[in-house]
Structure 1
Amino acid sequence: MKKLLLLGTAALAALVCQAADIDILDGSAKVSNLNIERSESSLIIDMAIDVTDLRLKSEREVTLTPVLKHNDMSQALPSVIIAGRNRYIRNRRHDVDKTAALYRSGKTSVIPYHAIIPYEDWMMTAELSIGEDLCGCAGTKLMTGADMLTTLDYTPKVFEPEYVYITPVAEAVKIREIHGSAYIDFPVSKTQIFPDYRRNPEELAKIRATIDVVKNDPDTRIVELNIKGYASPEGSYELNEQLAKGRTETLARYVQNLYTLPSDLMKTSWDAEDWAGLIKYVRGSSIENKDAILAVISNETLAPDAREWKLKSTYPDQYRFLLSQVYPSLRHSDYSVRYTVRTYTEVSEIIEVMHTAPQKLSLSELFLVAQSLQPGTPEYNKVFDIAVLMFPADETANLNAAVNALRHGDLDKAEAYLLKAGKSPQADYTRGIIAAKRDDYRTASTLLDAAAGSGLPQAAKALDSLRDMKLIP
């Protein structure tokens, strides 16, 4: 997964800043304005050492040495020496420590400290303290100690937003539908079904199989059977309407005679001529005079019989092709079985159904499974893939699938799901996170601000994180 890191750049970045004063030397001095900056290769330490209240006898001196330490690694920084009158004069005369800055006690109030050292990885979380050595005559050590100043933290700042899923609303009643089309062969101008005629055995078997898969399932109950019949456009519209109506009603009686179902479950309708199907075929074909033919068959200002006559008389060759190759497919019966599915509450049972008949599950049931799994695992990811497959137009399913894709770093897949995720605060938030991960911080700020304004707390946290990383103002 791509992570946003705030690392050192060529420009200096102030990463540690100590505002409060720190007492040292048992309160006789203090450190203020501590500021530590880091570039890619250097560490810059600045502070002010206030020694106004420090009084030393003439032969004494104090050496202050900032030290960085982490585990068994340490780095001493240049020292500062504050000396009494005689000691100061002697040190100046003999250059006792050329690397240390020398100051005379009583003559200096605030010592500006500045040091630059090479940055090393172990310093990332090192402690900065200040060592204190008080010496008397002849260099005798009178006191040794140290005071903690601060702990560095150069750990790369990682933008790790929360992943916000939406809990789907449970369906009060789970209603599902299975759809199909059958191409029943009827003798010319007849409405009687002959089960063994031409391809009827296979087509009738399709209808029975669709009904049986629902009727024989103890978890489902059929609530509606719908059959809609279509005739093709050849011949008179009046005759075609009679044929479409009669053949539809005949097929409905055939189904009713096979199953013991309440009569009010059967719904029938018909369309005398399937012009929509003809238009769909021609539009997708490479037939000669395609655009002109489309203009004729799409012209609803003409009566159906007039349209057919114009097509037949103007484009006879194409008409003969359509009559023999396309019109038979326009004589069909579309059917659907509408049914309810019982609610599942046990995770183990939902998982079993998910692998065998996922269409029977609701989004809330699938989400219940996801909550029982470890995020990021293949099983967890599969739940969201199944959810969006079963509910391809559902905003919640698409949003959750987008969030899950984002979680394992597939930004392109997440953006594709978000196209169907609507405009909820959670959707804006997810789009904002993707924008941030693509380094488009202006868009990210706009989207996250909108989500935060809608009351989404995770959006406000993400904005604060981006501001802390100096990625947005």
Structure 2
Amino acid sequence: MKICNKILQIGLLSAALGSLFGCSVARRLQRQQATAGLAQLTRAERQERQQDSRPQVVKLQRDSNTFFLAPVDTLADGERVMALQIEQVTVVAKARTIPERNGRVTLDFIVTLPKALLGRSRSVVITPVLHKPDESVALEDLVIRGGRFSLLQERDYWQYETYVERFRPDTVGREAAFNRFVKFPYPEDVRLDSLVEGRSTVTYYYSQAIKTDETSKKMLVTLQGQVLAVDDSAYSLPPSDTLSYVVSSMISFVDTMPRYRIKVIDKFVTVEDRNYIQFFVGDTRVVDTLGDNRRQLDKITSLMRRIVEQQEFYVDTITLTAASSPEGAYAFNERLSQGRAEALKRYLVRRYGRSIDTMLTVQWVAEDWPELMTRIRTDREIVNRDAILELIAEEKNPDRREQAIRQRFPKDYDYIHAMIYPQLRAVNFRYNLRRKGMVKDTIHTTELNTVYARGVELLQKRKYAKALYILNDYNDRNTVVAHLSMDHNERALELLATLPKDAVTEYLRAIACSRLGRKEEGRRHFLEACRLDGRMEYRGNLDPEITELLKQ
């Protein structure tokens, strides 16, 4: 009971404080008319700011006024929001050209807030917004909270933890209690950028890594802001001016010239087709209603019609070869294969027409032992695979060979007889074609390498890993660009050493050396690139990696 009374007393006291401070905060802010601003630094100003950097901190204290730095995702539900122009917030970008690394860039700028804006009883929320052609993306928030605001958070959490310890509610009860007692939850993470306190300002160095895409040649950033007071009132800052970032990437060096490959065109072409026609045991008649024969026969005649009637080739010959499986006597199987081959030819002549009679040649194989050995060699279900293959190679008589397998390896034989023998009863067609109007046996011509073109397209869309998967075998300038874009600088230097020397390769060497800390070597390559092409000097002035390289 004492704990509950204590919580109630603290709650009433905080409500009174919130009313007292909230009203004074609101009235004081309403008298301000300044607008939030956004500006870029000159190079000299940027270097001066960078020299004044302080150690990273997440809390600062001055004259009993404490400010806490933390990010949040959203403000509390149910807040009262009203538009208001407040004390000026100055935002300065540290760099206008930013380098890309492994498909990402780091956006950074400086936010300077007057201490009068912060006060002790309110929280300032700054939200950078990245504008893309088809969407706007809110980046991670920056929040700086006054000392009393933070004390209010501590009190709320103390009330919640005391309640849980006293009444031990279940999960649902804990969630309800948290929503009841904690008005402003702590953020889960804390930004670790530099926070610097001046005499009248607080300066925050903001940076965040952003994934690039094909629209990221130029990035635009604006700021949105809110001030949240302990009385739940919130005041919106007008949108800021726009920061403009130019992304310095390697894709400007992509070689877009199409690549061709040599294609060999042959005068003589062969088409092979394997089919499985079922016959009654010991019979040679073609029965189209037996098993899958209808579909197989339709497949044969359809392919034959397409080949014979096409206009690009002459059909010199069509060879039909029928084969049997090894069970039974070899002599009988040979007569059976011959009879089935001739019967199938007669069937095709009747179905397709007399025009193929003269070009269709019939052959037969009594028992297709080579095909049997190939299938045994690749079938993991056969336990004695090696021994059976050795037996087939040693025994020259086909009848004794088949009988020996059946006697020595009965289980394997049963499997072979059931699963592999049916695949040996096949009919193979071989179409020998000759290209019309062609005198030489072969002609060499060029055709566009569409695979390489796809790799270049992916590179230009900043899909570097997929592009490198395609371009890695070519070892050319585009392969180098893909490696540099993924920060594979050592590998890029190795490839550059094998390429012809020109302004672009020298510039790329300078970039790789800059990243690896080899400044002297990098400077030599950059100066050589400028000597070979004066435009490289202008490009280098816009490239922060070259700027870093040229620092003394």
If the TM-score is normalised by the length of the shorter chain, which range does it land in?
A: 0.3 to 0.5
Q: Could you say which structure has the greater relative contact order, defined with CA pairs below 8 angstroms and 6 or more residues apart?
A: 2
TM-score relative to the length of structure 1: 0.46
